Structure 1
Amino acid sequence: MDELFGLSKFLLTLLIFVPIERLFAARPQKIFRRGLLTDLAFQFVNGWLILIGVIVIVTMAILVNQSMLPSAVKHMIDGLPYWVQVVLVILIGDLGVYWTHRILHAVPAMWQMHAVHHAVEELDWLAAVHQHPLDVAFMKAGSLFPLYALGFSTEAIGTYFLVYYWQAYLVHANVCLSYGPLRYVLVSPEFHHWHHSSEVEAKDKNFAGVFSFYDWLFGSVYLPREKKPKTFGVGHPMPSGYLRLLAHPFRVWTSRQRRDDQLSRASSSGVVRPGQDELTSRERSR
């Protein structure tokens, strides 16, 4: 039962990151911060919902591998040493994370899911789990589908899971860590904190999860020297509480669909009420 709820991993993570954040804090922040109980709900409930999505993604990827992947490609990947597979798996997986993450920011309907993650205004290690299950499933599809479809070994993909698990907590942690010259290669807490910043200059930047060079390569990096992010969040009020945050994208989608239907009916009847042809400032965002 302990393993089903991931309690052992959570306690180990807590014992590692809480002391580190006390010793190397990037910002003064309480352990029992705002939203802590909500994040604990994400930690222990989300996993069950995400698991369903992962099973579907992996099943579809394996079917593609068995029915469509050329045998020559299968043999080539099977013949690769474990460590070569690990490097390729992390590179491919993180490229998938980069582009799915960027899509979540670029497409307004997708952003409503991802905004749940960005709603965190006091960033620390536990913010890593503050994500809508649909958001996580979409990013898992981008990273895991190609890995299983190409037929990489279970051991190599398992290593990627382990690397990404710790990386996710580390880059959200409230620690002052920049990596020096390695900042051009690896995603550090400093790098990812800018991604969560509500400051205008940092908007829609730093999408990679492991390799920062993807952001340098695709022109989406923001990493100023001698400056630290001061504020986090989405810049407008978001719901509080686990269930309200789960419902948030559905409420926005329903509201916009209702508005579009009203505009469509008004347009077809030739009557447009004042203000109906304009989006509210809040709806314009994203």
Structure 2
Amino acid sequence: MQPHAEHSFIAYASAMLGLLSLLAVLCFHFPELLTSREFRAVYSEQFARRLLLVGMVAAFVLGTLAVMRGRSRRVALLGVGSATLAVLLGGTNVRFDAIGQTPWSLGMDWFVLSLFFSALVFVPLERYLGQRRMSPLRPGWRTDLAYFFVGHVLVQFILILVTAWTSTIAGLAAFPALKDAIQALPVWAQFLLAVFVADLAQATLHRTYHNTPWLWRFHAVHHSSRAMDWLAGSRMHLVEIVLTRSFVLLPLLVLGFSQPAVNAYVILVGLQAVLAHANLGLRFGWLEYVLVLPRYHHWHHARHPDYLDANYAIHLPLVDMLMGTFRLPKDGSWPEEYGVMKLETVPRGILHQHLMPFRRRKHYDEYED
């Protein structure tokens, strides 16, 4: 990483922390509308306030340091200004009464905490253990961050859409004997079985995306990223998010897996989806044939004709072995290039990419190259 890129990153880190602090303060002011009831149960109010304080202080310190070094001053001032506004709006001293119930809410708290901790963990890891020497501010990061924002903030709406029809279909499909047999298993065994069943469903749908032209136009958005890191996995069309989560959740509901087993699987999905896309050059040896790890999934994203129909699993390479789509170079090599084969078929930017599947247009002048 060049010195100017590193200084720029300090400024952008300040801007991120300042803006996240401001969003966190807004969450304290409007908890019914901006925070999700399910996620509020995961963390405490005291924890959120302490984290907010850390974020504001770090935004001030990093922003001031970037300004003194003369790198990306406007970005650094955005961080300092956002943190200042967060303080003026009450900072950690905002008080609120009992949080009331609303028919819907945004997952702003989920976005703030997820982005903070994901960046805290993966930015240093990719800096020192990355397969490629690449700045976090690589080309296309703004688009992927926009996807990260939309996917997290709209989490409750996505959940409503997914559960609305999957629960209905699951209710119509009655297999009481099979459900009883699965629920008689210990939770850990249910979890392992759920991982296999869900990954088989996911991989089947995933392959269908690649081999059905009109579905590929939605999935091509995910493959359009020209760089692979922890943020790149967020680039998914909302239609694909709803379809994939529904298709994966449906067999788990139909077969009657217990809620603890399903919850454990949901946690695994979140962790492995980020890990599989991460820019981590570690060699895992035989474990690469047991679990889907970065090199395995990176080859699925390779801009290479030999890997257009390969590595659809997101958890278990065994699923690809059963489907006949397992591909992994034995020499430990990584892809040289990522992205769709025809770059001009996917436009640049989250708005144009969401409209793209519904347009007749096949080529665009503005695309990621």
Give me the TM-score of the superposition, normalised by structure 2.
Answer: 0.65
Q: Distance in 1 between matches of 2:156 and 2:312?
A: 23
Q: Distance in 2 between matches of 1:43 and 1:27?
A: 22
Taking structure 1 as reference, are residues 8 and 220 closer, same or farther at Cα in structure 2, changes over 3 Å only? same
The corresponding residue for 1:110 is 215
The corresponding residue for 1:232 is 338
The number of equivalent residue pairs is 255
**Post-superposition shift, 1:255?**
4.4
Letter paired with 2:194? V
The corresponding residue for 1:244 is 352
**Post-superposition shift, 1:34?**
1.1
| Residues 144-183 of structure 1 aligned to structure 2 (within 5 Å) | 144-183=249-288
The corresponding residue for 1:87 is 192
The corresponding residue for 1:129 is 234
CA deviation profile, 1:169-206 (whole Å, cap 9, x unmatched): 11101111342112222111000000111011222211
**Post-superposition shift, 1:48?**
5.0
Taking structure 1 as reference, are residues 51 and 105 closer, same or farther at Cα in structure 2, changes over 3 Å only? farther
Give me the TM-score of the superposition, normalised by structure 1.
Answer: 0.83
3-state SS of the aligned residue for 1:91? Answer: helix
User: 1:184, 1:216 within 8 Å by CA — same for their partners in 2?
Assistant: no
Q: Distance in 1 between matches of 2:205 and 2:224?
A: 19
Paired-residue identity, %:
34
CA deviation profile, 1:53-77 (whole Å, cap 9, x unmatched): 4423323333344343132223223
- RMSD after superposition: 1.9
The corresponding residue for 1:204 is 309
Taking structure 1 as reference, are residues 158 and 64 closer, same or farther at Cα in structure 2, changes over 3 Å only? same
1:63 to 157, 168, 171: 168
**Post-superposition shift, 1:167?**
0.4
3-state SS of the aligned residue for 1:125? Answer: coil
User: 2:127, 2:133 within 8 Å by CA — same for their partners in 1?
Assistant: no
Larger radius of gyration: 2
Letter paired with 2:282? L
Larger deviation, residues 64-73 vs 184-193: 64-73
3-state SS of the aligned residue for 1:122? Answer: coil
3-state SS of the aligned residue for 2:328? Answer: coil
Mapped pair 1:10 → 2:118: no
**Post-superposition shift, 1:79?**
2.1
